[in-house]
Amino acid sequence: MTKIGSVFTSVGQKALLLGSGELGKEVTIELQRYGVEVVACDKYAGAPAMQVAHRCYVFNMLDGDELKRIVKHEKPDFIIPEVEAIATPVLVEFEKEGFNVIPTANAAFLTMNREGIRRLAAEKLGIKTSDYRFASDKNEFISAVKELGIPCVVKPVMSSSGHGQSVIKTPEDIDSAWIEAQEGGRAGAGKVIVEGFVNFDYEITLLTVRGVSGTVFCEPIGHIQKDGDYRESWQPQPMTDSALEQAQIIAKSVTDALGGYGIFGVELFVKGDEVIFSEVSPRPHDTGMVTMISQDLSEFALHTRALLKLPVPSIEFYGPSASRAIVVEGNTDKIEMDCLEKVLEEPGVQIRIFGKPEVRGHRRMGVILAKDTTLENARAKAERAYNKLKINIL
């Protein structure tokens, strides 16, 4: 039986959140709905989840010694990784000591590094992926590009939200792609993955929930990326019954291999009825923010239920929905979201402002959500609302 006692007492439940961005903020809120004490951690002060958590710590989560110190001090019931840049070998140690790492320490370890999850899917599970090579230095990188051919995609093995990712379209792009990958890695310069270009019709995120009720799936989410970063998503992505069945089989195979309870964002390429595995995140996914308006249980609510070992008997889908990321460019800690009354003047529109303290370069600072009777109408409504927003850089 699942029991949650009074907060701040010996019978209460405590979660240590490793990563406190906009996704972690929503997880924090959902955990607190169940009376769970939340301690938020990130590398900078004032991160979104820290603004709603009970307590917080600021440190580099790649620092294994500091991570050990905080876990030993807090003694959490749940350790919840919300970003890739964590000293994952330490998580493996914690799990051996009896700590509950969500969904598992091995899942966090394998998915932090694109090499781990790609080898699991392609080489151990026999799932179709794009052709790929790993390169530890520039000479290996150049050889990999030559073997796979141009165009090809380059990514650091450790990064997220598209950081360090680029497409080599001509030989002149090779040098800049290497530099981009080295500068964009979460853990600094290092190994990269070079992927053969996949000719696909569209790509999806299939949110897959592993819990006490078994494995359940959300409606497939389509999305658009720019420079490797999500800018727009919608639900449901139209696809054939055959393709959806294949996607669910692949997602279940990968998530079963990773194990544990929680939500997984499984990224897949689709060409007709053919489905090709791309990546997986063992946590809520940025494209899944659309579920905050499209479903009775958002991806954050589903993640929380699963990790607390509470049942998910069903997921009610409300209908065609869309999200539009608010990306701000500049160099400031003073930003105003203006004309909000215009943004929200149509029915079926919502906005989330993440509360990030500053932007240096470009940064996702909010999201607009919309629902309507058709997918086309929902996407158009989200775009109209976005175009009404005025961003003041002060």
Q: Side chain identity at 163, as an amino acid letter?
A: H
User: 286 catalytic, yes or no?
Assistant: yes
φ, ψ dihedrals at 318, nearest 5°: -80, -25
Catalytic entry in 267, 283, 288, 372: 267
User: 383 catalytic, yes or no?
Assistant: no
Catalytic entry in 111, 129, 233, 287: 287
Angle at Cα 191 formed by Cα 254 and Cα 70, nearest 5°? 70
Catalytic entry in 279, 281, 298, 348: 279
Residue 64 burial by Cβ neighbours in a 10 Å radius (0-12, 13-18, 19+) = middle
Contact 105, 98 (CB under 8 A): no
Give the CB-side neighbour count of residue 181, counting CA atoms within 13 A: 26
Buried b (16+ CB within 10 A) or exposed e, 205-217: bbbbbbbeeeebb
Query: Rounded to the nearest 10 degrees, how much is the dihedral formed by the CA atoms of 290, 292, 295, 301?
Result: 120
Catalytic entry in 162, 190, 319, 330: 162
Cα 306 to Cα 4, 41, 311, distances in angstroms: 14, 22, 7
Contact 223, 373 (CB under 8 A): no
Catalytic entry in 283, 324, 364, 379: 364
Catalytic entry in 286, 288, 299, 366: 286
Catalytic entry in 20, 111, 129, 160: 160
User: 160 catalytic, yes or no?
Assistant: yes
User: 265 catalytic, yes or no?
Assistant: no
User: 341 catalytic, yes or no?
Assistant: no
Catalytic residues: 160, 162, 267, 279, 286-287, 364
